[in-house]
Amino acid sequence: MVEKLITELVIANRILAREDVVDAYGHVSVRHPENPERFFLSHSLAPAFVQRSDILEFDLEGKVVGSDRRTPYLERFIHGAIYESRPDVIAVVHAHAEDTLPFGIAPAKLKPVIHSGAFIGAEVPVWDIARRFGDKTNLLVTNVAQGRDLAKSLAKNSVVLMRGHGFAAAARSLIDVVRMSVYLPRNARVQFKAMQLGKARPLSKGEIAARTGGYKPDSPETQRAWQYWAERAGCADLLKQLA
């Protein structure tokens, strides 16, 4: 179970890199299936290069479990704090995807406007690190307190934008969080373009519920996307290992 999950986490890293959600920066994690107080995340490495041997186990305060001395990501606290505050969350992504950034600094609210964007949910809060930590931070989430403040802002939602920085996304599975992170910047891009033409019309609450309600990670439709993205990311060999 754990071995399979780690391979899936490697695939998730490669997909997010190939789809330009992450670049040198950004990361994806998954909660330990046998110990909810732990999660898996690569050491500090661009997601495009992540292999199984790069994955480390962390506790919810961002400490490496075991004796591995490789440098962890500076912002691992994002993941631990979200797992701590949201028992329903199994996978987390943090990224700086450029198309999401305007919505973290302008008055316009990011809303789901396309069917594939429904998964971000009706509300996408914006977290401003300066509200609690002042105007002299480097904007990064570098400790447990900052992670917890971010998680508080995420609250029950699926995505939180981070002012002048990026976003964090939380979901019930790796496939869910990858899918949401791929479509989030696309939704933002469409909304931005629509706003240039006039007012952007968001999906209704009923439409969002209809899209998200019947969603199953192991449905053929979802598996089709996962397989497509994985193959595009050069992970055909890893997919075979999972079969």
Supply φ then ψ for residue 165, to 5 degrees: -145, -60
Instruction: Answer yes or no: 231 catalytic.
Output: no
Task: Check 8, 19, 75, 84 and give the catalytic one.
Answer: 75
By annotation, the residues acting in catalysis are 75
